[in-house]
Amino acid sequence: MNQGTADRAAQPAEGNGQQVEQASRALLARRSMSIRARITAVFAALFVLMSTVTTGALVFLSAFKSKSVFLEEMTNYAFEIQQARRFEKNYFLYGTNLDDALVNTETAQYNLDQHAADFESVMGKARFAAMKKTLALYEHLLERLSEAGAEGGRLPQQDRAQIESGLRRSGTRLLSDAQESINLERWLMHTMLHTSRLLALGFLMFMLLVMAYVASFIIRSVLRPLGRFTTYAARIGKGDYSPILPARKYRDEYSYLALAINQMLEELQARQDQLRRSEKLAAVGTLTSGIAHELNNPLNNIALNTEALLDGFADFPEAQKIEMLEQIYTQVERASSTVRNLLDFTRREAPAFTPVSLTEEVRHTVKLAGNELKLAGVELKLALNDELPRVMGNPRNLQQVFLNLILNAIQAMPEGGSIVVAAAVEDGFVRVDVSDNGCGIPKEHLDNVFDPFFTTKENGEGTGLGLSVSYGIVEKHGGRLSVQSEPGQGTTFAVFLPIAK
């Protein structure tokens, strides 16, 4: 089977049972790949994908949270340093706020110690260590100034200038490092947000593709085979019982459904064949009186000639004896022909399709119904052409169709009448019309005449299967059977069979 295709219908061939067996073997030979397993695999892959995306989102949020905390704490740290620098300037200008500068420095130092792990993870150990060292130097210089003030003395001008210079350098560096870290983290956070938006859009596009694939998968695995099996059901409803053959490289639930349908088709075919044989026997039963009459006449003639020969064999001249024996032989041939025609009609054989001349089959069928026509007082006229193209069909089945139509026409004319069987070519089909001038069919019954067991005859006079079986036979030959009728004016059944190629 080609990938993406489901089970296709097999072409009609001889031996429906053998076809079903071959189809079943072919279906079971495919490696198993159930729809359930494929759906489970698809959803498992989706679960892994969603788990990965969720894990990535959690990692991203954790990193973003760390940067957010770092940015907040680093901003607080920078604020404390700025305050310390402001109080430091006040001290050198006015001699005040030195203790305030020390408080802010200690607060900044406390922030660094409290969030050392977060700062190290973002800034790196080397930068963080350098920042702490610079802050410690800044604090040490402030403490020297504080100690000198506490002792009531003043530092020499040179030492004071060195401390002031050192404080400015370290303070400037502390603010510069803090601001640089803040700006860098802000840029990184903006980058992360921009990247997350791009990833979200990319993931949305990817999910659209995944949804398209899942939809395609459901259509290919479930809906499309379901549509094909709906087509198979319609085909079976029209009487085509050819088995379903595999069309894919693997076996799934639909393959087992095809196996069940194939088994059902085999049973239906057997039941239809049995029904057709029953209807054929019913048609033979209808012909019984005509056959008895056809056999009785030659048997009476044989008996009379034989009795005459026995009584006066010695008295008859040689020429008369030969004439009487020839008459006996002729009557034997007549009876044998009747029996042979009947046996040919009832013989069970494989439903082989061969090129068939409808002209010959109609004439052969008319011979079968000849005595029934005589007994019913019905005249049958043939308007056939020996040059009609052949059709592909089963001769016995086609004879059964024409015999059913002729017997129906006879039964529609209890007081006698005429039947016309005409044939012509029409749009690639050979059309055979069986027309009578009988009682006709009421309009309300026309839609039901081909239904099984539908009959307008009295109880015991018909099975209601003849036209239904005929309809099925014609459809199995790729043709169609239609009816036109007017009450009181007669009925025409038209058989359309495709021309053999």
What would the 3-class secondary structure string for 45-70 be? Answer: HHHHHHHHHHHHHHHHHHHHHHHHHH
Mean per-residue pLDDT over the chain, rounded? 80
At 476, the pLDDT band (50, 70, 90 cuts) reads confident
Q: Which residue has the higher pLDDT, 102 or 345?
A: 102
Residues in the chain, overall count: 501
Q: Helix, strand or coil for residue 354?
A: strand
As beta bridge partners, residue 496 has 431, 480
Residues 6+ apart with CB under 8 A from 300: none
Q: How far apart are CA 186 and CA 190, in angstroms?
A: 6
Mean pLDDT of 293-310: 72
Task: Indicate the SS3 state at residue 2.
Answer: coil
Mean pLDDT score, 334-343: 65
**Distance from C-alpha of 96 to C-alpha of 98, rounded to nearest angstrom:** 6
**How far lies 368's CA from each of 248, 364, 399, 491, in Å?**
50, 7, 10, 22
Going from the N-terminus, what domains does the chain have, and what CATH number goes with each? 60-202 (1.20.1440), 287-347 (1.10.287.130), 352-501 (3.30.565.10)
From CA 125, how far away is CA 46, in angstroms rounded? 41
Give the rounded percent of residues in the chain with a pLDDT score beyond 70.
81
**Angle of helix 395-411 relative to helix 253-286, nearest 10 degrees?**
50
**How does residue 107 score in pLDDT terms, banded at 50, 70 and 90?**
very high
Q: Per-residue pLDDT tens for 171-183?
A: 999 999 899 889 9
Q: What is the average per-residue pLDDT within 482-487?
A: 90
The span from the CA of 485 to the CA of 491, in Å, is 4
Res. 405: pLDDT tops 50: yes
Instruction: Say how far apart CA 31 and CA 250 lie, in whole Å.
Output: 5
Residue 342 · residue 284 · CB < 8 Å: yes
Per-residue pLDDT of 140-198, as tens digits, reads 998 888 887 766 556 778 888 888 899 999 999 999 989 988 998 899 889 989 998 99
Residue with tokens 């109080």: 87
Angle at 309 between CA 303 and CA 312, to 5 degrees: 135
Structural tokens at position 175: 């603010």
pLDDT at 13: 36
71-87 tens-digit pLDDT: 898 899 999 999 999 99
Which among 433, 357, 421, 346 is positioned nearest to 393, based on CA atoms?
357
How does DSSP assign 430-475, residue by residue?
EEEEEEE-SS---HHHHTTTTSTT---SPTTS--S-HHHHHHHHHH
Query: How far is it, in rounded angstroms, from Cα 237 to Cα 387?
Result: 35
**Residue written as token pair 């990833």:** 199
